[in-house]
């Protein structure tokens, strides 16, 4: 379980809109193609968080809950977790009114028949990096 909380000087609607633009905030170092411009996220139930390049495709996650300006939740076994028999939920919870948003990002991983604690520190670093990149994008828009 990984939780990252950030307070943003932006309304929830703007943060939610930018969540749907991962090409602008996801690190290219954490893509299969090396180019975050190949990422798309459809913020609707069943929507794909996908990467497409040169005839290749990777589904990073599938949206299971898209509650406008409040919650975006994906089934998302990111990176090396994709090769393991695990269930992974990535949730972006937005709470706030006016020009402030409390963003709480939870990444929950279970299963695998292995000691997942070995992956906790590097995965936490990756999730925290993505959240901080989103925070910087929100601040600049």
Query: What mean pLDDT is predicted for residues 18-45?
Result: 97
pLDDT bin (cut points 50, 70, 90) of residue 37 is: very high
pLDDT digits (tens, 9 = 90+) for 112-139: 777 888 888 899 999 999 999 999 999 9
**What's the chain's average pLDDT?**
95
Cα–Cα dist 134/27, whole Å: 10
Query: What mean pLDDT is predicted for residues 77-82?
Result: 91
- Treating both helix axes as pointing N-terminal to C-terminal, what angle do 117-140 and 12-19 enclose, rounded to 10 degrees? 120
Residue 73, beta-bridge partner list: 65, 91
Q: Give the closest residue to 22 by CA, choosing from 4, 48, 3.
A: 48
Residue 56, beta-bridge partner list: 53
pLDDT bin (cut points 50, 70, 90) of residue 98 is: confident
Q: Is the pLDDT at 97 greater than 90, yes or no? A: no
Spatial neighbors of 126 by CB under 8 A, at least 6 apart, are: 30, 78, 79
pTM exceeds 0.85 for this model: yes
Q: Is the pLDDT at 5 greater than 80, yes or no? A: yes
- For residues 21 and 120, the answer to whether their CB atoms sit within 8 Å is no
* Token pair belonging to 30: 């954490």
Q: How high is the pLDDT of residue 53?
A: 98
* Token pair belonging to 116: 């997942």
Spatial neighbors of 89 by CB under 8 A, at least 6 apart, are: 64, 73, 74, 75, 76, 106, 107, 108
pLDDT digits (tens, 9 = 90+) for 47-62: 999 999 999 999 999 9
């Amino acid at each position: 379980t990984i939780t990252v909380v950030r307070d943003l000087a932006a309304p929830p609607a703007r943060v939610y809109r930018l969540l749907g633009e991962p090409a602008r905030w996801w690190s290219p170092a954490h893509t299969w193609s090396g180019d975050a411009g190949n990422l798309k996220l459809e913020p609707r139930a069943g929507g794909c968080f996908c990467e497409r390049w040169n005839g290749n495709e990777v589904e990073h996650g599938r949206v299971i809950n898209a509650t406008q300006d409040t919650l975006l939740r994906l089934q998302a076994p990111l990176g090396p977790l994709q090769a393991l028999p695990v269930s992974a939920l990535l949730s972006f919870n937005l709470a706030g009114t006016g020009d402030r948003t409390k963003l709480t990002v939870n990444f929950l991983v279970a299963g695998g028949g292995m000691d997942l604690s070995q992956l906790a520190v590097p995965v936490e670093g990756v999730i925290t990096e993505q959240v901080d990149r989103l925070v910087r994008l929100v601040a600049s828009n």
